[in-house]
Chain A
Amino acid sequence: DAKTTQPPSMDCAEGRAANLPCNHSTISGNEYVYWYRQIHSQGPQYIIHGLKNNETNEMASLIITEDRKSSTLILPHATLRDTALYYCIVNEQAGTALIFGKGTTLSVSS
């Protein structure tokens, strides 16, 4: 079973920041937090990952709480193309299974 809990759906206005929360209260010290998204039936797309520190790349920012029990994915200026199913996953290392939960459906509207 997935080790993360996410809200089933969220709405966001185009151009505004989308903040997607994730709870992972049983995360272990070696596990990273990964975010992926899936648009329609395409393959999941990697967005960002982090261990302890906040991370930023060209797609998004990841804020991890100090106790590492929750995190937030931030899409700073959401566009219609960001409408997708977003998955928060904890994983220790390459080669191990990514366990996908139900994720959060983000709907961006104009």
Chain B
Amino acid sequence: EPEVTQTPSHQVTQMGQEVILRCVPISNHLYFYWYRQILGQKVEFLVSFYNNEISEKSEIFDDQFSVERPDGSNFTLKIRSTKLEDSAMYFCASSLEGVGYGYTFGSGTRLTVV
């Protein structure tokens, strides 16, 4: 079964450092998403991406965050200057276009900011 692959599985970074989280969505999917989950809290939407541009973003997704699809297979989330409160699980997801399709999530990257 096709999977969404995320790397690394765990990243530790110092406060103020830039971090890039990487994802390989399912190859024929056209929509890509980032979500995050702070420990013990709900899964929160960050951003959706379609046709090489952001289609929707939440208020969490401020200027510190950016997304990119640098080539035909990778989808990245960059956090420019990490804060302690950015520590969370970050999930990438992808979906087909249209109605009535489920989103496939990756297994996540656990980001720890120290």
Real binding pair? yes
Which residues of chain B in 13-52 are interfacial with respect to chain A, using CB atoms and an 8 Å cutoff?
30-31, 33, 35, 37, 42-45, 48, 50
Mark contacts of A61-74 with chain B using CB atoms, 8 A cut-off: 1 yes-contact digit, 0 otherwise.
Answer: 00000000000000
B75 → chain A closest CB, angstroms: 14
Q: What chain B residues lie within 8 Å of A45 (beta carbons)?
A: 105
We find that the number of chain A residues with CB closer than 8 angstroms to chain B is 25
CA distance A107 to B93 in the complex (A): 26
The stretch of A3-11, A14-22, A34-42, A76-84 that contacts the partner chain: A34-42
B113 interface residue per 8 A CB criterion: no
29 pairs, A vs B, C-beta closer than 8 Å: A30-B99, A32-B99, A32-B100, A34-B102, A41-B37, A41-B108, A43-B4, A43-B105, A43-B106, A46-B102, A49-B100, A49-B102, A92-B99, A93-B99, A94-B96, A94-B97, A94-B99, A94-B101, A95-B50, A95-B55, A95-B97, A97-B45, A97-B56, A98-B33, A98-B45, A99-B45, A100-B44, A100-B45, A101-B42
B70 interface residue per 8 A CB criterion: no
B95 interface residue per 8 A CB criterion: yes
Q: Is the CB of B107 within 8 A of A46?
A: no
Interface size class on chain B is 20 to 34
Which residues of A line the B interface, CB within 8 A? 30, 32, 34, 36, 38, 41-46, 49, 51, 87, 92-102
The residue in chain A whose Cβ has the minimal distance to the Cβ of B56 is A97
